[in-house]
Amino acid sequence: MQIRKDDQVEVITGDDKGTPDNRRIAKVLRVLPEKNKIVVEGINRVFKHLKPSAKNQQGGRLSKEMPIDASNVLLFCPNCKRGVRIGSRFAENGQKQRYCKKCSTSLGNVGPAKTAYATKK
């Protein structure tokens, strides 16, 4: 899975996708790779109804984010200012990095550097 915690993503499908003029861009709170799902801040909110108890005297409704499928979002490119498809490549020092397929800007490193992939000068 190419999306990591604290990434900025654009929601492209579902109830929270927004309009072309007003795109929904939010931060990833949690990644669930075994289910291919992510939890995004302010997206896919549901209400959990709580009965009054000793801890919670009032009871009421608790709003929380639920996971959405990772295929429903695109990683946000700050250079293109929109969600883009991403690829992976090795930098000159052997560091694997994600990059924007549109403008070829680096979107962050992934994992430790591998000397086998470093370019020799």
Torsion of CA 105, 107, 110, 112, to 10 degrees: 60
pLDDT tens for each residue of 10-31: 999 988 888 877 889 999 999 9
Strand ranges for the chain from DSSP E:
8-11, 25-32, 37-40, 45-50, 60-65, 68-69, 73-77, 82-84, 86-90, 96-100, 106-109
pLDDT tens for each residue of 43-66: 999 999 999 999 888 889 989 999
pLDDT tens for each residue of 52-109: 999 888 889 989 999 999 999 999 999 999 999 999 999 888 899 999 999 999 998 8
Question: What pLDDT sits at residue 18?
Answer: 82
CATH of domain 8-50+61-117: 2.30.30.30
Question: What pLDDT sits at residue 121?
Answer: 64
Coil vs helix vs strand at 72: helix
